[in-house]
Amino acid sequence: MGAAGSKLEKALGDQFPEGERYFGLENFGNTCYCNSVLQALYFCVPFREQLLDYYANNKSIGDVEENLLTCLADLFSQISSQKKKTGVIAPKRFVQRLKKQNELFRSYMHQDAHEFLNFLLNELVDILEKEAQAVKSDPETSSPSDKTANGPKNAQANGALKEPLVTWVHKNFQGILTNETRCLRCETVTARDETFLDLSLDIEQNSSITSCLKNFSSTETLNAEDKFFCDKCCSLQEAQKRMKIKKPPHILVIHLKRFKYIEQLGRYKKLSYRVVFPLELKLSNTVEDADSEYSLFAVVVHVGSGPNHGHYVSLVKSHNHWLFFDDENVEMIDESAVQTFFGSAQEYSSNTDHGYILFYECLGSTSNKS
């Protein structure tokens, strides 16, 4: 491993980014689902920085009860404070905590990386919300943190008390979808908003993410058995429905629904479809034509032909270099290698490495209004 580390250092040479660390993560028996997502999150720089800020602020408060958030913060700070530039770290505490917390991840079976990401982000949000509530209800505990904390975390927590709580996890990942339904009789549009931390997209063979996003927001007609109750007409009416993005998130996480339940088979099947994803992306299915540009910075890749077994690796862009993380191993790859993870145009193919979760970051963060 040390040799591998030095190889990466050699490959990067004097281009090794100042202060950056590239560490592989040890696998504790089928924990690649976890490792691949952790690497993607670690190289989600705004998330990492805010987590490390949180960690720095929280440490001073004293001993907080261990939870997934503190374990994750601990792991990230462990990586970022390594003396060596490359190497391997064992995310032992984090994995133990994860297994303790959720029985789903307790077994040694193959787990779904997207399920893990979803669980983790929601868990982090829960913990932050609970903390904020505790601060609110107990002014005495809040006073020491007021004294010590001068970071942005505190300001956010205070500001968030007024409205529905928006944690820094929300600020990174949360977007708002609006579900517009237009009654075809009275033409009234009913809009219902919902928040999301990632978008799960249906995929088609030989399509692009752009096209999948369009399908996601395509108009659906509600008729026959599936009519819409219009409040204005006070009756069931035919209607058109579609989903658009009202507020695009800063970090756009796209989950490709590669595991599909096939009724005839009575089980899940992996779709190896070729779905191309550009390194830059703009959302066309927004309420307002925002034209804000996203840049791809991480891809969680599922390796294998079926849903119940296989392996996860991740591709990460850091300081304009692409890196390949496979548990303990870290390698530099060429940008053009990303296209080998699009999927296969033919159903039976030797290529089983398919992009599964895509992480895009909004480039012009200020343009993110509405």
Partner 1 sequence: MMMHNNGNNGYGNGVMTSASPTTTSLSSSSASANGQSTQQQQGLKTYFKTPEGRYKLHFEKTHPPGILPYSHGKSVSQITLAHLKEKPTQAGSASSSGASTSGGVRNAAARLLGVGGGNGSRALSFVGGNGASKAANGTSRSSSLAGSNGSHSMLNSNYDGKGTYLMFNVGDSLFVSDLNTHDKDPIKSLHFSTSNPICHSFDPEAKDGHDLLIGLNSGDVYSVSLRQQLQDVGKKLVGAQHYNKEGSVTNSRCTSVAWVPKADGTFVVAHADGNLYVYEKSKDGTGDTTFPVVKDQNQFSVAHARSSKSNPIARWHICQSSINGIAFSSDGAYLATVGRDGYLRVFDYQKEQLICGGKSYYGALLCCAWSMDGKYILTGGEDDLVTVWSMEDRKVVAWGEGHNSWVSGVAFDSYWSSPTSDGTEESVMYRFGSVGQDTQLLLWDLSMDEIVVPLRRCPPGGSPTFSTGSQSSHWDSICPVGTLQPAPSMRDVPKLSPLVAHRVHSEPLSGLIFTEESILTACREGYVKIWVRPSNSESQSSNPEIPVGNSSKELPPLPGKTGASSYKSVHLLIYSSNTFS
Site for partner 1, rule CB under 8 A: 180, 182, 184, 189, 202-208, 210-211, 214-215, 217-221, 223, 238, 240, 242, 244, 260, 262, 264, 269, 271, 273-274, 276, 278-282, 284-291, 293, 336, 340, 345-347, 349-350, 367, 369-370
Q: CA angle at residue 340 from 335 to 343, to 5 degrees?
A: 140
β-bridge pairing 175-183 and 207-208 = unpaired
Instruction: Tell me how far, at minimum, the Cβ of 214 lies from partner 1, in Å.
Output: 4
Check residue 273 and report its DSSP letter.
Answer: B
- Give whichever of 25 and 301 is closer to partner 1, judged by the CB atom: 301
Instruction: Tell me how far, at minimum, the Cβ of 336 lies from partner 1, in Å.
Output: 8
Q: How far apart are the first and last CA of the chain?
A: 48
Rounded CA-CA distance 65/265 in Å is 46
* Residue 338: closest CA among 358, 309, 364, 319: 358
Instruction: Tell me how far, at minimum, the Cβ of 10 lies from partner 1, in Å.
Output: 19
Rounded CA-CA distance 248/251 in Å is 9
The token pair that represents 286 in the structure block: 């927004």
- Give whichever of 151 and 278 is closer to partner 1, judged by the CB atom: 278
Instruction: Tell me how far, at minimum, the Cβ of 295 lies from partner 1, in Å.
Output: 10
- Give whichever of 93 and 227 is closer to partner 1, judged by the CB atom: 227
Any idea which residue has 């991480």 for tokens? Answer: 298
- Give whichever of 96 and 206 is closer to partner 1, judged by the CB atom: 206
* Bridge partners for 247 per DSSP: 176
Rounded CA-CA distance 37/45 in Å is 14
- Give whichever of 15 and 219 is closer to partner 1, judged by the CB atom: 219
- Give whichever of 200 and 210 is closer to partner 1, judged by the CB atom: 210
> Angle, nearest 10°, between helix axes 152-160 and 45-61?
90
- By CB atoms closer than 10 A (0-12, 13-18, 19+), residue 166 is middle
Buried residues in 139-152 as b, exposed as e (16+ CB within 10 A): eeebeebeeebeee
Instruction: Tell me how far, at minimum, the Cβ of 356 lies from partner 1, in Å.
Output: 17
Range list of β-strands (E), the chain: 22-25, 86-89, 175-183, 189-196, 199-201, 207-208, 220-222, 228-230, 235-237, 239-247, 251-256, 259-262, 267-270, 275-276, 280-282, 293-303, 311-318, 321-326, 329-333, 353-362
- Give whichever of 143 and 221 is closer to partner 1, judged by the CB atom: 221
Instruction: Tell me how far, at minimum, the Cβ of 180 lies from partner 1, in Å.
Output: 5
Catalytic site positions:
32, 311
The token pair that represents 220 in the structure block: 């659906």
Instruction: Tell me how far, at minimum, the Cβ of 255 lies from partner 1, in Å.
Output: 16
